[in-house]
A and B are shown apart, each in its own frame.
Chain A
């Protein structure tokens, strides 16, 4: 390609600077809005966030913030409330990843099987619909579905003569209630990722295994799952990042309650921000940022190693 330029140069005999301008500057012009936006709503805020995490909250908006070293980090890490919140976040993330990816895998296998025929398109559509539904709307509906007097959940349980579900109000069920609402909202995405992977699974290999007398479970473990490794990796990494950041559902449904049991890190940081404790809020945000990067990287490396 480079040689072709030199031929063009000789041919037109254009001075090199003008040629550079004509051939290169235009790309910088194309990229300029993208670069400006990346700086404005990406790199600058992240840098500012890190800066403020070392500053006294009261001076965060001043032209020259007063720096307090690691005090904000020490305050955050020394707060038993934060450690409890971090633990709840990790526990919730682990449960949510297993529930979502497990459900999505099972449901995608069902939708992919020839047993269903044409209705699978409709089923796929319905499971994906919540993914594009505004989260606030979806969770508002779920909040009321769980309601003791308005809600359909307990009405349905009573109809089936089952014990009532405490939903978001009871300490023992709040996390499960949040998890179910989030599963409804997000699982469709993971299902579709699995379906895309299943569409390129080697059918000949499956048929060969069936002819050799392998039963359904044997085919699943030895033929299908190894070929689904890419989708499993993507879904696990995505789900990890998704649920570590769990936020909207908490704001809409529980406000961190009951008794702080759903006060996950994102929400805890937001509460600090809301109380104008900018230093601690950004310190907490930075800690979660580091955690997300570490987890994503770790999961990715583990998956890469498993591939060999």
Chain B
């Protein structure tokens, strides 16, 4: 009896979830089809998703984007994202670890407070004064300034801080009694335990930094240091419509993080949730 009453509700639930899922995934399918369909085809039937004929002229059109080669933007994206991710993970891990081991030291309390304050400043607007700082340090137009700016974020610090709190102090005390120095404790005891959290933070940071465009655009002095999202923004802003090329570039920009996410979805979702709950 319950089962019979449940069936219509069940169908309704499936239907609603199905429609919403379709609406969320449709822009991806449309983007993919737009990249492989000729402009003529799209204008004839904007809704269709399956190309009549695979047309690669969109990709051919973006071999050069706004005066810089697509390959260069791709290499920039990969290099800047990997460098800033590695730096972010190392810096946040060591910082959170030190603060966690000596939470009462005045310098560390000030540091934590200053960090939290910085993270409250609207990120997009922080870029404006960061431009002034980079100007003073003569870092405008290079990779260093971009990588440094992308290497600090709240979620990395919060995830590490949360993790270090779970390490039982007795474990570290035992190692001290056994005569281990702090560097040894860090490398031999803490690091092996932290493998999981390091991976999670690295994946999330990669996803976040891959998507960055505003700091990259502002700190860059020329398109030579542009990453894929910045190139895409430029292409989209150009006069004249290269619809197919825009979709092709959007596909190239989207695929790496989408694959990484599908590969590590559980870590990404739980990590981002935990980082938010703490922050």
Contact = CB atoms under 8 A, between A and B. Distances in A.
Interface of A: 1, 4, 8, 22-24, 26-28, 30-31, 33-35, 37-46, 48-49, 52, 60-61, 107, 110-111, 113, 115-116, 119-120, 122-138, 140-145, 149-152, 154-156, 159, 184, 188-189, 192-193, 196, 230, 234, 238, 244-245, 247-248, 251-252, 266, 269-270, 273, 278, 281-282, 285, 288-289, 292-293, 296
Given A26-B182, A144-B34, A238-B276, A111 B95 contact: no
B117 A46 contact: yes
B129 A134 contact: no
B27 interface: yes
Which 4 residue pairs spanning A and B have beta carbons closest together?
Answer: A34-B95, A42-B118, A49-B129, A45-B129
A24 B272 CA distance: 32
Contacts of A278: 128, 132
Interface stretch (B62-70, B119-127, B191-199): B119-127
13 contacts: A27-B98, A31-B94, A49-B126, A110-B16, A128-B261, A129-B258, A132-B257, A136-B233, A137-B31, A141-B27, A144-B243, A273-B128, A289-B120
B254 A137 contact: yes
Contacts of B126: 41-42, 45-46, 49, 285
A37 B151 contact: yes
B222 interface: no
Given A132-B258, A247-B124, A251-B233, A52 B111 contact: no
A129 B25 contact: yes
Contacts of A129: 24-25, 28, 258, 261
Nearest to B130: A45
Question: Could you tell me the dominant secondary structure of chain A's interface residues?
Answer: helix
Contacts of B97: 30
A125 B24 CA distance: 10
B50 interface: no
Contacts of A37: 91, 148, 151-152
Interface string B160-184: 0000000001000100110001110
A46 B121 contact: yes
A38 to B, nearest CB: 5
Given A8-B176, A41-B133, A132-B211, 19 more contacts: A4-B173, A24-B105, A42-B152, A46-B117, A46-B129, A61-B135, A127-B20, A127-B21, A129-B261, A131-B272, A132-B260, A133-B258, A136-B229, A136-B233, A140-B246, A141-B31, A141-B247, A266-B125, A289-B125
B115 A30 contact: no
B73 interface: no
Interface string B8-23: 0110011011001101
A111 B97 CA distance: 37
Given A41-B149, A123-B21, A30 B98 contact: yes
Nearest to A149: B43
B261 A132 contact: yes
Instruction: Assign chain B's interface to a size class.
Output: 35 or more
Nearest to B218: A273
B91 A34 contact: yes
Nearest to B253: A137
Given A40-B148, A46-B118, A155-B46, A125 B265 contact: yes
A133 B254 contact: yes
B172 to A, nearest CB: 10
B143 interface: no
Given A26-B182, A27-B182, A248-B213, A151 B46 contact: yes
A7 to B, nearest CB: 9
Interface string B261-279: 1100100111011001100
A33 B30 contact: no
A251 B232 CA distance: 12
A238 B126 CA distance: 18
A34 B132 CA distance: 21
A54 to B, nearest CB: 13
Contacts of B102: 24, 27
B207 interface: yes
A41 B130 contact: yes
Nearest to B33: A152
Contact of A22 (B149, B173, B181): B181
A52 B114 contact: no
A41 B148 contact: yes
B57 interface: no
A256 to B, nearest CB: 13
A76 to B, nearest CB: 13
A42 B114 contact: yes
A4 B178 CA distance: 13
Nearest to B34: A144
A45 B148 CA distance: 13
